[in-house]
Amino acid sequence: MKKEIAVWKPISIILITMLVLACVAGFYIDEIRNTLLDDMKNNLKQIASSTTVSIHSRIEDRISTLENIAYMLENEATSDKTKLMEALRTASENSDFMRLGIADLEGNCITSDHQSFYIGDRIYFQNALKGKSSFSDTLSDKLAGFDLNVIAVPVVENGMISNVLFGASKTNELGEDLLVEIYDGKGFTAIGDNEGNIVLQSPSKAANKNLHNLSQLKFDNGFTVDQLKELKSGLTQFVSLKGEERYLAYMPLGINNWYVYSVVPVSVVTRRIQNIILIAAFTWIVVALVLSLILAYIFTMRKKNQKKLNEVIFFDDVTSHYNFNQFRVLAEQIFTSKNADSYTMIEFDISNFKLVNELYGYAVGNQLLKITMDMCEQDCQANEYCARNSADHFILLWKMHEQDAVRQRYHALIQSIQKKAHRENDYLTLEFHGGIYLLHGNENSFSKCHDRCVYAKSQIRDSKTEAYAFFSERMYENMLRHNRMEASIKKAFDNEEFKVYLQPRITLDDQRVHSAEALVRWDSPEYGMLLPGEIIPLLENRGSLEELDMYMLDHVCQILKKWIEADKAIRISFNVSRTYIFKPGFVQRVLQIIDHYGINHEYIEIEITESVIFDRSDALYSIVKELQDNGLYISMDDFGSGYSSLNMLKDIPINTIKLDQVFFKTDAINAQRAKAIISGILNLTHTLNIHSVAEGIENESDMKFLQRMGCDEIQGYYYSRPLSVSDFESYMDAFNKK
């Protein structure tokens, strides 16, 4: 009996020990499971929150885009339907909306694709009439039959709502744009309302397209669709229509009582937990060690996933700093706090950064970007932010609002960047352009503030003296005027409001007019006579420089045809934009226009600037040779204003050079040096058998000097300003007779 007791005693102890260890292991396994499950749920909530912020921001961007279009239409004559529709079509072509439309106060609307219907009973229309921008639920398109969503904003005229502007997007395309997949494509997002209806269905393969309302699902934890009316976020579990258990994280979007639904299969979330439990079950003897490894693994994976998520969304690899997305989130928090009137927003960029990359390589360019970002970060104080926007563009948000103080601090920052860059690369001399906007207390749109910084910066883009500009109300009015002018460019082409003006070039040997340069003027009924300095940026923004180039050539040919018939033709030169000369078919298009009018090719001279050689000198050589082989003359405009003039003379067979007027803007200190340079250039042109023209000549002494130096032709106010065609003809006849 005692032997049996002695045998059973260790067995009992072992069994009890095993039971205790099993209980301990079970307790730890249960605790681990609960901890991991809570972490996974919190992670899912964080992802849902980040996704909701991203979707909200994208919707706000669409609303902001439509509001900007409404601002452009504010000053249009709404009673003039033709003018209004022209502006609407132009805006539609430059937006991401499927259709733009505008409705009167009764709800009668017309669209950019020439449709008319009634929307007075639509909620989004009624909200816009109350002055509130609105994003509609999913609607059925009356015209094409597919589902769509509509954004509507009020159009104000003289302080009163005069119309409602709306932009429509296909629901399926909107879903593809706004909604994202999560958990490596195994999860997805959708948008629904507070009654459980699916408003925007996810395009993900993981989504069930037959699900139209959450009430179709079986939920755990006592969750009901009625709880959505409380507009609170949460996490619940349900069984899908296909019988798969899934998690649903729901979070209010802040628009139309909508929610963002983030759905992930439970198996995806719990797979790692199940693996850990399985390992713990087989290795319960060393449970402490296993637990330590599991906790280390969980911590590492969580940090790695969080870091990867932050890098993807909020990190800039080039500067090793948070990116523009994070900057925007931080800035919008300032707007939410109603504390914007103590802040200043600045955007600046590096002048000729593209040239730095081309001359010194992308490694030097990236180093320069990092130096700039580092100095901005060092300059920022508490509750101030900075980031690289894109390329060489940087943005700052400083907690200061006094203009002189901002000016001094910005100047000091730029100097510190220049000094640091020069220490790292002593061959670099950097210049910056900046736009500065002092925020107001009622600011609620990041995009509008940023746009005003960008616009202020654009006003000094070509300035050689100004390095930054503050946005002002006058600048805002100019911006609106600029937008209206840009919108009327197409009509200006159709009505031939662009006029050819001619400036004579006087040959010094015989004092006669043998050639002229064609210059553009916009004779606008609304804005008066506009010069190239105001016309070219508008056309460049709109992408119409190529159209202007061919418009000018066509009208020059019309002038020459008339002169040829009158037996008084001379050569006319005109400028070609660098964006067009390299386009396929450029030469053929030029020859087609000239030959259409039967013009001898030697009467046409094409002017190019030296800046085009930075891009593709080999391609430029081929284009110039082809033009010359067809009898056209090629001249280099603004010779000496840049840094590659001599290289261009070496590489490109130019017929004529036009000395830039900068050589003749001298003072007592540099006058002799300028004359020596001019003399050397003219000697060089004689040696190379290149025709020479001096631009911008305004006094007799410069004319006499150039005559002694053997310059072939002179162009400038000393002889004549640019003239209309009829005035030029009178001038040429009188001058040549004299």
Instruction: Report in angstroms the alpha-carbon separations of 177 from 115, 203, 498.
Output: 26, 10, 40
Given this model, what pLDDT does residue 115 score? 82
Report DSSP letters for 49-111, one per residue.
HHHHHHHHHHHHHHHHHHHHHHHHHHTS-TT-HHHHHHHHHHHHHTSS-SEEEEE-TTSEEEE
Which tokens belong to 728? 């030029």
* Average predicted confidence (pLDDT) for the chain: 83
Stretch 244-254: mean pLDDT: 86
Token couple for 402: 């006094």
Does the structure show a pLDDT above 90 at 141? no
CATH value of 23-60+179-284 in 3.40.190, 1.10.8, 3.40.50, 3.30.450: 3.30.450
CA dist 639 and 649 (Å) reads: 10
d(CA 375, CA 365): 16
Measured between alpha carbons, how far is residue 736 from residues 514, 566, 713 in Å?
9, 15, 15
Please tell me the least confidently modeled range out of 70-79, 89-98, 449-458, 588-597: 70-79
Q: How far apart are CA 25 and CA 19, in angstroms?
A: 9
528 within 8 A of 541, measured Cβ to Cβ: no
Give the H or E element holding residue 517: strand 512-524
- CA-CA-CA-CA dihedral for 16, 18, 19, 24, to nearest 10: 120
What are the tokens at 349?
Answer: 């960029």
Helix (H) / strand (E) containing 500: strand 498-507
Tokens 């910084």, residue? 453
Contact call for residues 354 and 363 (beta carbons, < 8 A): no
Note the pLDDT of residue 2. Answer: 45
Q: With respect to CATH, is domain 75-174 assigned 3.30.420.10?
A: no
Residue 68: both structure tokens together: 């900007």
Q: Are 657 and 649 in contact (CB under 8 A)?
A: yes
Q: What is the pLDDT of residue 378?
A: 95
Query: How far apart are alpha carbons 608 and 619 in whole angstroms?
Result: 14
Query: What's residue 648's pLDDT?
Result: 73
Q: Who wins on pLDDT, 632 or 121?
A: 632
Confidence of residue 47 (pLDDT cuts 50, 70, 90): confident
Which is more confidently placed, 158 or 321? 321
pLDDT at 76: 59
- Mapped onto helix, strand or coil, the DSSP state of residue 141 is coil
Element (H, E) at 453: helix 446-458
* Residue 52 to residues 35, 236, 255, 318, Cα–Cα distance (Å): 25, 17, 11, 27
Least-confidence region, from 133-137, 515-519, 526-530:
133-137
- Candidates 550, 607, 548, 605; CA nearest to 572 is 605
The sign of the torsion formed by the CA atoms of 440, 445, 448, 453 equals positive
- Check residue 386 and give its pLDDT: 95
347 contacts 454 by C-beta, under 8 angstroms: yes
The total number of residues shown for the chain amounts to 738
Query: For residue 196, what is the DSSP state?
Result: S
- Distance of alpha carbon 379 from alpha carbon 348, whole angstroms: 15
Q: Which one-letter amino acid corresponds to residue 121?
A: D
Name the residue type at position 526: E
Q: Which residues contact 207 (CB under 8 A, 6 or more apart)?
A: 188, 190, 201, 263
Cα separation, 359 vs 344, in Å, equals 35
Please state, for a pLDDT cut of 70, what percent of the chain lies above it: 88
Express each pLDDT in 178-198 by its tens digit: 787 887 778 888 888 888 888
684: left (phi over 0), alpha (psi -120 to 50) or beta: alpha
Least confident of 372-376, 443-447, 715-719: 443-447
Q: Tell me what the mean pLDDT of segment 588-604 comes to.
A: 95
Strands (E), 158-311: 160-170, 181-182, 187-193, 198-200, 218-219, 234-239, 245-252, 258-265
Q: What is the β-pairing status of strands 116-118 and 134-135? A: unpaired
- Whether the per-residue pLDDT at 71 is higher than 70: the answer is yes
pLDDT recorded at residue 465: 56
Q: What is the pLDDT of residues 378-409, one digit of tens each?
A: 999 999 999 998 889 999 999 998 999 999 99
Where residue 7 falls among pLDDT bands split at 50, 70, 90? very low
Residue-level pLDDT at 6: 46
Domain assignments of the chain as residue spans, ordered by start? 23-60+179-284, 75-174, 321-476, 488-737
* Residue 3 pLDDT: 46
Least confident among 208-222, 510-524, 632-646, 695-709 = 632-646
How many angstroms separate the CA atoms of 226 and 249, rounded? Answer: 16
CATH of the domain spanning 321-476: 3.30.70.270
**One fold for both 75-174 and 488-737?**
no
Give 515-569 as a 3 state SS string: EEEEEEEEEECCCEEECHHHHHHHHHHHCCHHHHHHHHHHHHHHHHHHHHHCCCC
Is the distance from CB of 197 to CB of 191 less than 8 angstroms?
no
- Please determine, for residue 685, whether its predicted confidence score (pLDDT) is greater than 50: yes
The yes or no reply on domain 488-737 and CATH 3.40.50.1100 is no
Using DSSP's 3-state secondary structure scheme, residue 316 falls into: strand
Cβ distance 606 to 620 under 8 Å? no
Bridge partner list, 262: 189, 249
- Predicted confidence (pLDDT) at residue 464 exceeds the cutoff of 90: no
Buried-state track 530-564, b at ≥16 Cβ within 10 A, e below 16: bebeebbbbbeebebbbbbbbbbbebbbebbbebe
In the chain, the amino acid numbered 53 is: V
More confident residue, 144 or 488: 488
Distances (CA, A) of 105 to 84, 118, 688: 15, 11, 71
CA–CA distance, 57 with 505 (Å, rounded to integer): 57
pLDDT reported for residue 109: 87
CA-wise closest residue to 115 among 149, 95, 88, 155: 88
Give the whole-angstrom CA distance, residue 711 versus residue 659.
10
Which two structure tokens, joined as six digits, stand for 127? 């909200």
